[in-house]
């Protein structure tokens, strides 16, 4: 490709700056852009919100205007978080492995007239050891939380949305390990592959109610779930195989989540959106 002379590049850059300024003005005056990504008037439920992705995303949804309910096993911790975070309207106890607990959490929200418009189905665990050393209890715990738990939350929330005539959206936190495999996390990869298929199957069946179901597939993002591994030598070797040569940061998820959560994504359902610096397309 022919290279531009320096003077042309300068003019081009000035144009870009003017254009960027113009966009800034545009966002201030054009309310349709807020309609695409703003979440005012919507109730969002985030599971597994005591830390990591869940807590970060709960804060983001609140910043975008949603009334956010944070849910998980550690109610004391969630209540403490809710007290200190604007936009977090409730904390509810919820163990995703227990169907009664899932129904109880939604009943408790209903007492406050809260039916979720947005569900971030985020609770998850992992057990890291070679497949032949994974016990039945390890397998059951991972599948029970990540796959069965996500299914229980998604289907119960969808029932409540249908009964309330709400056209909501369910966003499942899957993983790039739902599409490819890695050593020592077989049950986790199996569970997330199930979440990818559950996303598509539910998107098909719930479209008639105007309910969208999508999945985020984050690549490796440093959180409590994986910190020890990612910061180890093996983690460093892994980082070298990511096309972008970096692990993700929590705020890499912000725009993708708002796209799926807001009305701007109203025609997106059954989609799996990888946020991984190209890890899924790394060369074999």
Ligand X SMILES: NC(=O)c1ccc[n+]([C@@H]2O[C@H](COP(=O)([O-])OP(=O)(O)OC[C@H]3O[C@@H](n4cnc5c(N)ncnc54)[C@H](OP(=O)(O)O)[C@@H]3O)[C@@H](O)[C@H]2O)c1
Strand-pairing partners, residue 214, are: 171
Catalytic (active site) residue 188: yes
Residue in 58, 81, 96, 154 binding ligand X, rule: CB under 6 A: 96
Residue in 68, 85, 152, 175 binding ligand X, rule: CB under 6 A: 175
Q: Does 138 bind ligand X (CB under 6 A)?
A: no
Smallest gap, in angstroms, from Cβ of residue 27 to ligand X? 30
x-or-dash pattern for ligand X, window 109-128, by CB under 6 A? -------------xxxx---
Residue of 70, 63, 67, 64 lying closest to 41 (CA atoms)? 67
Q: Note whether 43 and 69 are within 8 A (CB).
A: yes
In Å, the largest CA–CA distance within the chain is 68
Give CA–CA dist 19/14, Å, rounded: 8
Other Cβ atoms closer than 10 A to 156: 16
Give CA–CA dist 23/16, Å, rounded: 10
Binding segment toward ligand X, per CB under 6 A, in 15-23, 31-39, 44-52, 199-207: 44-52
Q: Does 106 bind ligand X (CB under 6 A)?
A: no
Structure token pair of residue 226? 């994986």
Give CA–CA dist 68/91, Å, rounded: 9
Smallest gap, in angstroms, from Cβ of residue 75 to ligand X? 10
Residue in 34, 36, 51, 148 binding ligand X, rule: CB under 6 A: 51
- Residues acting as catalytic residues: 188
Query: Interface residues with ligand X (CB under 6 A)?
Result: 47-54, 72-74, 94-97, 122-125, 145, 149, 173, 175, 218, 220-221, 223-226
């Amino acid at each position: 490709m022919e290279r531009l002379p320096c003077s042309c590049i300068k003019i081009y850059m000035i144009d870009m700056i003017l254009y960027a300024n113009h966009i800034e003005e545009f966002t201030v005056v054009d309310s349709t852009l807020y309609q695409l990504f703003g979440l005012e008037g919507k109730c969002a439920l985030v599971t597994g919100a005591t830390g990591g992705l869940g807590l970060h995303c709960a804060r983001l949804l609140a910043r975008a205007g949603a009334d956010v309910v944070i849910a998980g096993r550690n109610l004391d911790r969630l209540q403490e978080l809710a007290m200190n975070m604007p936009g977090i309207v409730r904390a509810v106890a919820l163990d995703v492995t227990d169907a009664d607990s899932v129904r109880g959490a939604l009943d408790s929200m209903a007492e406050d007239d809260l039916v979720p418009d947005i569900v971030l189905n985020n609770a998850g665990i992992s057990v890291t050891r070679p497949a032949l050393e994974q016990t039945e209890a390890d397998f059951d715990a991972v599948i029970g939380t990540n796959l069965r738990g996500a299914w229980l939350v998604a289907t119960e929330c969808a029932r409540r949305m249908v009964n309330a005539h709400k056209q909501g959206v369910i966003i499942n936190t899957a993983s790039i390990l739902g599409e490819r495999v890695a050593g020592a996390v077989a049950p986790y990869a199996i569970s997330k592959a199930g979440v990818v298929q559950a996303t598509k199957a539910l998107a098909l069946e719930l479209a008639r109610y105007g309910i969208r179901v999508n999945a985020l597939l984050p690549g490796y993002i440093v959180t409590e779930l994986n910190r020890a591994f990612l910061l180890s030598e093996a983690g460093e070797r892994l980082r070298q195989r990511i096309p972008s040569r970096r692990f993700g940061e929590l705020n890499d998820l912000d725009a993708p989540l708002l796209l799926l959560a807001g009305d701007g994504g109203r025609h997106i359902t059954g989609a799996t959106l990888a946020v991984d610096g190209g890890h899924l397309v790394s060369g074999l």
